[in-house]
Structure formats: structure tokens, C-alpha cells
Structure 1
Amino acid sequence: MRILTVLILSMFALVGCGGSDGGSGNSSTSHNGSSVSNGGSSERPTTEDSGQTTGGSSGSGSTGTGTGSNTGGSNTGSSDQTGTGSDTGSSDQSMADEMLAAVNAARAQGQDCGGTWMPAVAPLTWDATLEQTAFLHSSDMANYDYFSHTGLNGSSPSQRVTEQGYSWRTVGENIAAGQKTVSAVMQGWLESPGHCKNIMNGSFTQMGAASDTNSGSTYGIYWTQVFASPK
């Protein structure tokens, strides 16, 4: 069984379970691909959650305000992300070390995720394939100035992971935009109940993350975390 959990966070305009002035929304998805979403936007941080998806392999599931059923036998997404923005994001080893350390520090202590105590869980290991997957999506968002789990080419998080050659059992994604540092984006995620739970999810064993920048885009910097456990 595969489980897909998708969460998003933005510094300036977000939708989700955190709630805020100006609009909020929640999304949940069942194994049959149904989705319920209340849209909205805000000048202050909120979050969006989606439910979990089960299936035999990564197929043509839908993402964005919810994740559809991934029951296909092959991946149909593509990653022709060739924008013209600047590729100067924090995708180097220093960022990787800092992000992994921050995530594992949170997992080691346990976290109060919006009133739900998530106990300490095992540390994650860094995976270069998941890092590459994260960078491609951050770069796509930065270069083409959008903010979504759905790639410009229509790809879902699970499709992007599969396309990079990672055979997964569980996979999840966090995205964010506007935060300038690892500590800032981690603080935002940990203060959001849904994102906090994703970081503390004991079913994940590996992760990768990256950011990319484009001064001409809406938020300037775009972050992606990808969590997974291999088959």
C-alpha cells in the first residue's frame, strides 16, 4: 500500500487548516480520489491539508487542493522544467545539512501539532533523488511564478518522485514560499498543525528538500520538502 500526504505553506498567501483572516480552507482526499476543498486566500500565513491516497503504484492522481487515487501502473508526468529564472536557491550541501538537522531535531523531541501530541520518531536520512525531485519543483514554481503541488505540466508529487526513479511505499510533500531561511520555513511548518504532523510522520524514513529563487517571481523564493519511504 502507498500513502500520499500533501501539505502546502506560504508566507503570504495560503489556504488551509490553520485558518486566518481573509479566507481559509481545508482539503481531504480519500482512497477513491474524492476531494472536498474550501478555497480562499490571505495576507497572513495559513495552511492546506490533503488526505491520504492509497494505490498499487504511482499513476495519474490529482493534486493541488487534494490528492486523487494513485492506482495506475505507470507514471504519466513529466518534468520539463526549463524556466528562465535564476537557479540560485539553497540546494547546496549546507542547506541540506541544516534542513535535515532541523527536521530530525523536531522528530527527536516530539511536537505539539495544534493540540495533538506527536511523539518522538526515528530520524530521517537524506536521499539525493528526493532532493532532486524537490529542487525541480521549487525551480518550476520559481521560474514560472506559481505556487501549487501540481506542476506546470500537470504532474503530481507522486509522479515527480516516480519519474526520478524512486520506488516508493509512502510519499509526501510540503511546499512554502517567501521565507528567506531554513529556520524561518521550518518554524512556519512546525507552527502549522498539518505540516507539523507531516514532519512528525513515523511512516517516512527518508527526505530531500531544496529551494530556488527568482527575483521576478511573486514570492522570490520557493521551498519544497519531499518525504518518502522506499519499497
Structure 2
Amino acid sequence: MNVLSRFFLSSLLLSGVVQAKDTAPDADNAPNFVFGLGYGLLNQKSLLNIDFKVNIPISEHFSTQVLLNSNYLITGSSQDSFAQSELSSNWFLHNEYGRLGLGIGVSELEPMDDELEGQRDVIGQFIGEAFMGAFSLTTNYISTDTTLSNITSSRMGLSYYINEDLRTSLYREKYNVDEIGWRFETHFQPKKYHQMVSVGVIARTGQDFDYLGMVVQYYFDHAASLKQREREFH
């Protein structure tokens, strides 16, 4: 995890330096911190997901993001239980019509069994989104072969905002090596929590990785609709 920690700190430092040079210190340009906690069943096995994300506006059309994503597959046996962490630094060009992003990071997989060898890979990422009123078209490519995350996986699909704080999405997803499945998710952000907490339900079906779970995200910033928040930040 030393590599992940160093990458995380250096990405935050670089993003902060660029922001300090290129932006004025106002509320609209303040960093957006997000903490996410998810739990579900992956083929009837417990999968815990913990995310920490920092979105930093640099200018009107340019922003950066640091994402730390950790998954823990708990099977009851140390031989097939493991922890997977992905740490990436992503950079975006965006306007009112869409977003294009590139990222680089490190992925580590650590088996719970100390006798088994872990894996570490450098990962690349491409993100593309088009905004069309209440609809969003999304494509997201991750170079790593194995990902169990609730957020970072290769996918292509369509989202629809039923209202400003309720979104439903359908994706065709590559979730493990060359296996393909479908993913359906719905996210809701209640107004009574000052629009700073969202709750999501995620269902995924595929050959070997059926999944059903929930995710809760807390935003350390200010009140904003889910649609505004997700289109301003990825």
C-alpha cells in the first residue's frame, strides 16, 4: 500500500498547486470531497466497498480528480477472500454539453491468505460523457482486467434524471477479464439532508458475477442537486 499512499499524496499536491495558480478562491471553485460506503452480495458472497474522492476545479472548463477505491470480498475462507484497491488521478475537460477525461493510477490485489502472492498493475482510464437535457450518455474504459468496484469499471450506457435528485441508469459493463454483463442502478438524493447525502441501489448480472447492493455517499461541500453535482464532477 506504500505505492498507493505516495501516489495519492502526490496527486493531491499536484492538483492543489495547479488550482492555486489557475483559480480564484471562491465557493464555486472549492474542492468537492466525497466519501462512499457500499455493501452487497457478489454471487452470495459479501462485498464491501469504500471510496474517497476529491474533485478539484482548476478553471471553468478544466478540473482534476483523485479517487481511492477499495473493495473487500469476504467469503469465509482466506483462500478466496481478498482486498482490491485502486488509486487514480483523473483530468477532465468539460462544458455544458459533456466531459472528456483521462486518468492513470495503480491497482493492487491482496489475498487474505498470506501464502498467496498479490498483484499490482498500472491502470489507464478514459471517460467520456454527453449531456442531453435529462439524459446522459456515458463511456468509461479501464485498462485493468479485473475490477469488482461499484464505481470504476469499463462500461457504456445511458442515464436518465427523473428529477433533479433522482437518476436511473443502464450500462453494458465489462466487469472481469472478457466477461460482459448488464448493470442497473438508481440514485436518490433527499432534500431533507441538505442535498449532501445520496443513496443508490445497484444490480448487476453476468456469467459469474451477479451482484446486488447499496451505496451511500456523503458530500463535504454545499447543497446542490444530484444532477448538478454529477455533471459538475464525475
**Higher relative contact order, structure no. (Cα contacts within 8 Å, ≥ 6 residues apart):** 1
TM-score by length of 2: 0.29
Of structures 1 and 2, the larger Rg is shown by: 2
The structure with more strand, counted as a fraction of residues = 2
Larger helix proportion, structure 1 or 2? 1
TM (normalized to structure 1)? 0.29
